[in-house]
Chain A
Amino acid sequence: MRNPLSDTIVTIKPSGIRKFFDIVSEMPDAISLGVGEPDFDTPWHIRDEGIYSLEKGRTFYTSNAGLKELRQEICNYIYRRQKVSYEPLKEVIITVGGSEAIDIAIRAMCDPGDEVLIPQPSYVSYEPCAILAGAKPVIIPLKPENEFRLTAEELLEHITDKTKILVLPFPNNPTGAIMEKEDLEKIAKVIIEKDIFVLSDEIYSELTYKGEHVSIISIPGMKERTIMINGFSKAYAMTGWRLGYACGPEVVIKQMTKIHQFCIMCAPTTSQYAAVEALRNGDDDVVEMRTAYNERRRYLMHTFREMGLPCFEPFGAFYVFPDIRKFGMTSDEFATRFLREEKVAVVPGTAFGDSGEGFLRISYAYSLEDLKVAIGRLRHFVEKLNEEAQK
């Protein structure tokens, strides 16, 4: 029989998280600091709106690009936050999570051979999406000494005449790093000068703990060359609803909608109705959740300092990214031993790119009570490693 598979897909490595997932599934008593989704339930009024839409029989497809009402609310929201206006019927598409938006944006913009710049450590899907689009992923390794922000110099070093898109994943999963206005201005200058585009993944934008999140679209000249991706999963604790969106220049959104139309048809209707409610009446929920995350973030930073675990202070998302290089183990070895010996799952930094080596992703999407138990075990493990080192 002939080989049924495509060479392209076979050569793509499975996500580095998979291996840990498999070990953890064999350990039912293990506790986890490894999730990438909020611990809160979707606020009740949002769920209620979803239920109500089902009761009313709103169970049909929406238009390909999504409910007009929702696109309008998204534009209102972006204007509230960034003072940037989008045209709801031309410059917005509702997608199945931010993930779909990443995929179709790259597919709509890249021809074979085009280069996509991907700063790492970052979310696991940019690289495979670029490969599947026939583009060439070019990795920019971010540095701990810059607190994992992207600098203009690093960007310049990796630009060639084939470069088409820069992926800008901030606030960042897994590092928790953010980019502030001054950082973005420097990046924007290079982008405009070199005439490339930006795919700005801002799914964690509401979870910023140092001032307000600044989007690169708010920098003059950048709205025209940016596809801005966001969604409902992180801000409103709606991961399972699978709802995201992209805003960008009409020409790009139009082609993205074409791909979306053939592959997806439209995002889930129930989720779209619920999302309208989230944008209209969900601001207080976001504040409440952000306050809770921030308390946990401070707690973790404090306990890391106490146990002598180096970690830069992250101001975004719900992850901390401690530095374990001094223990002389790889991230993978550390995480595996920690799981076996203390029964706590964390994700090695290398799951998010080679430049995550020497770091761990610890999620604080857990109650303070759960965090205390897990961090108690981390403290115990670190003490054990320190003792071993002295022998």
Chain B
Amino acid sequence: MREELLRIIEKNSRIDIKELAIILGAQEIDVINELQRLEDEGIICGYHTMIDWDKIDVEKVTAMIEVRVTPQRGQGFDNIAERIYKYPEVNSVYLISGGFDLMVTLEGKSLREVSSFVSNKLSTLDSVLSTATHFILKKYKDHGVILSKKEEDTREKITP
């Protein structure tokens, strides 16, 4: 049940325990225990809400920043990654194969705020060799969800 449970709550973390138990064909208590185990083991790391911020009047800018760094002896990329992910404005940090090393995503209130973070904080770190900042213009799909477009059911209402 573990994998199916994770797949369901990955899409809808607000589903209630009773309903979860029904559709999994399991006992409520077993679902509760399994969720607890998944949280304890750090497999479930948090419960978030997907918000399309473009739909309300809140200024928000998301940027993806390619960062090239010098790895440190004995530490590889872990130290520098930690230096970067400790900034609260940073959303995610990934180690990437290919032309650069770290992919950093961050959210700010404005272009200016993001650029000042990049120029004052990120690029001044010792091991950072260079950065390339990409601002996101429009989100079409996020976390497997297609934003902005509600698909209509175009099937005939009654078919044999």
Would you list 7 pairs from A and B whose C-beta atoms are within 8 A, ordered by A residue? A15-B160, A20-B158, A32-B157, A34-B157, A35-B156, A295-B24, A302-B22
A291 to B23 Cα, complex, angstroms: 10
A residues lining the B interface (CB < 8 Å): 15, 17, 20-21, 24-25, 30, 32, 34-37, 39, 123-125, 173, 291, 294-296, 298-299, 302, 345, 347, 351, 368, 370
Contact A298 B157 (CB under 8 A): no
**B19, B23, B156, B160: which has the most chain A beta carbons within 10 Å?**
B160
Taking A291-B7, A295-B24, A298-B24 as known contacts, 13 extra A-B pairs with beta carbons closer than 8 A to each other, sorted by chain A number, are: A15-B160, A17-B159, A21-B156, A21-B157, A24-B158, A25-B157, A32-B157, A34-B157, A123-B160, A298-B23, A299-B22, A351-B160, A370-B153
**Set A35, A123, A296: member contacting B157, Cβ < 8 A:** A35
B46 beta carbon closer than 8 Å to chain A: no
Ranked nearest first, the 4 interchain pairs of A and B with the lowest CB-CB distance are A295-B23, A34-B158, A32-B157, A36-B159
Instruction: Output the nearest chain B residue to A306 by Cβ-Cβ distance.
Output: B22
A302 partner residues in chain B, CB cutoff 8 A: 22
Point out the residues of chain B lying under 8 angstroms from A299, CB to CB. 19, 22-23
**What chain B residues lie within 8 Å of A37 (beta carbons)?**
155, 159
CB-CB nearest in chain B for A288: B7
Give the interface of B toward A (CB within 8 A): 4, 7-8, 19, 22-25, 153, 155-160
Known contacts: A39-B153, A291-B4. The answer to whether A298 contacts B158 by CB under 8 A is: no
Contact between B158 and A21, CB atoms less than 8 A apart: yes
CA distance A20 to B8 in the complex (A): 35
Question: How many Å lie between the Cα of A1 and that of B1 in the bound state?
Answer: 69
- Which chain B positions have C-beta within 8 A of A34? 157-159
Q: Contact partner of B155 among A35, A125, A294, CB < 8 A? A: A35
B157, A30: Cβ atoms under 8 Å?
yes
**A298 with B22: CB separation less than 8 A:** yes
Determine the residue in chain B with the shortest Cβ distance to A38. B155
- Tell me, in angstroms, the Cα distance from A125 to B157 when the chains sit together: 19
The residue on B at minimum CB distance from A15 is B160
Chain A residue contacts of B23, Cβ below 8 A: 295-296, 298-299, 368
Chain A hits for B24, CB < 8 A: 295, 298
A17 to B157, CA, bound (A): 11
Contacts of A368 in B (CB 8 A): 23
In the bound complex, CA of A20 to CA of B7 (Å)? 37
